[in-house]
Amino acid sequence: MNAWSSQSTVSADRTPILSDRPSILKVSLILAAGLATFAFAPILVRLAGDAHPLELATIRTISAALFLLPFWLYQKKKEVQEGYTRNEKIRAVLAGGCLGLHFIFWIASLGYTSVASASVLVTTHPILLILIESLMMKRRFSRLTWIGVFTAFSGSVWLGLSDSTYGGQFEHATLGNLMALTASALFVLYFILSSTLRQKSTWTDYIFRVYFATAVTCVLLMAVLQVPLTFGVPVVVCGIALALGPQILGHGSLNYAVKYISPTILSTLILTEPVFATILALILFAELPLFMSIIAMFIILTGVLLSWLGRQALKPAWLKKL
């Protein structure tokens, strides 16, 4: 898939006729609105108090699915084209399962490490995407890309060491950092499974199927692990806010744009989250990252930027002008 693509037909003179591609401005505005909500995700998790991560993830995912249900039913009444095949429906369920586990591990990580560390590590998925594409899909990348990969990896190691060695604010910071990295890996699996599905469906049909599977995953884990639902006011309010903001607007904007923009570029854009989340955590919780951690975060973001610049061929024409 090209960095900026859409469904199209070809005229008699071989000129592409773009039939359903939205304007660049529309996609950019949707992405900007969605990305702005990501920074509030770790803040809302902290405001939920000592809620069990699985309980908060369950309230979040159920709320998102219920909110989208009437829109999905309305669309299905009007739909005349054939939907997903059986294999594609299975893939949507698997994608939803990975997203549910991503939410659970990420929410859990914030109970053990700082907002800044968790936000940076959970957004290392552009690096993981490149590694998977290279090792499993046999794609070749430039030297600059690999320099970026190893730079970001070294920064992640440094961040883990600095959190566990140089400060006592988070006693089990290493565990939290590992959880955040696990959440990042699960997000990559979710993105790989779902990116092709979005190409042949409407946004509502795609996102409801995946989010419904995400909610079912969380509910099943709640039942298996026998985690009670307390329905405390802070948990419910923050869970619903997470559903409407970071999940539907945030992840939803990525799911909308992935039909037109490269998944790697989209995953790189999420790197705006750690910066704004760290600023919000400093303002609201007086949570100032350690100096060594700040250096490690800078190294990680530099590495991801280098890996992205090494993939210039993936940039749409409108980004090359910047």
- Are residues 284 and 40 in contact, defined by beta-carbon separation less than 8 angstroms? no
Its pTM stands at 0.75
Confidence of residue 31 (pLDDT cuts 50, 70, 90): confident
b/e burial code for range 49-61 (CB count within 10 A of at least 16 → b): eebbbbbbbbbbb
Residue 259 clears pLDDT 70, i.e. is over it: yes
* Mean pLDDT over each residue of the chain, to the nearest integer: 78
- Are residues 268 and 308 in contact, defined by beta-carbon separation less than 8 angstroms? yes
Residue 130 clears pLDDT 60, i.e. is over it: yes
Amino acid at 191: F
Overall average pLDDT of the 232-257 stretch:
90
Nearest to 102 by CA among 162, 57, 50, 40: 57
- Are residues 242 and 106 in contact, defined by beta-carbon separation less than 8 angstroms? no
pLDDT tens, residue by residue, 184-220: 999 888 878 877 787 777 888 888 999 999 999 999 9
Confidence of residue 283 (pLDDT cuts 50, 70, 90): confident
Lowest-pLDDT choice from 91-105, 145-159, 199-213: 145-159
